[in-house]
Amino acid sequence: MCKITSAQIAADGKAVASAGTAIANAVAATDPALASELTTVSNALSAATTNWQTGTPTTDINTAATALEAVLNAIPETAPYASFVGIAVAALDVLIANIATQPATGGAQ
């Protein structure tokens, strides 16, 4: 398994956060509270991946990814933008898989 660089992790995080923000914009008209929460967790994921450096613990990224996944799961499958949720979750899975290429560094992973 190849080791993914911090720049690649940052790019993954930015892509997933952008998807989350786009979905939040779509949700805003019908559920502003959910849209706000989705924006918040998307921004947290972006910050966690932007600031992460190779060789440091991935705890913050994993926490932010879990929070984003939880909020995405709150979106009804019947929503008109539900297919975009599937795309965001797939992108999140790529980020998580890439994080898994990082060695454990003594902290909680």
Q: Which domain holds residue 51?
A: 6-99
Does any domain span residue 44? yes
Does any domain span residue 104? no
Q: Determine the pLDDT at residue 60.
A: 92
Does any domain span residue 69? yes
Does any domain span residue 105? no
Q: Determine the pLDDT at residue 2.
A: 67
Does any domain span residue 94? yes
Residue 16 has pLDDT above 90, yes or no: yes
Does any domain span residue 20? yes
Does any domain span residue 88? yes
| CB 27, CB 59: distance < 8 Å | no
pTM comes to: 0.86
How many structural domains does the chain have? 1
For 21-55, the pLDDT digits (tens) are 999 999 999 999 999 999 999 999 999 999 898 88
Between the alpha carbon of residue 91 and those of residues 16, 51, 86, 105, the distances in Å are 6, 19, 9, 25
* Pairwise CA distance, residues 80 & 9, whole Å: 30
Helix axes 59-73, 32-50, angle to 10 degrees: 160
Does any domain span residue 68? yes
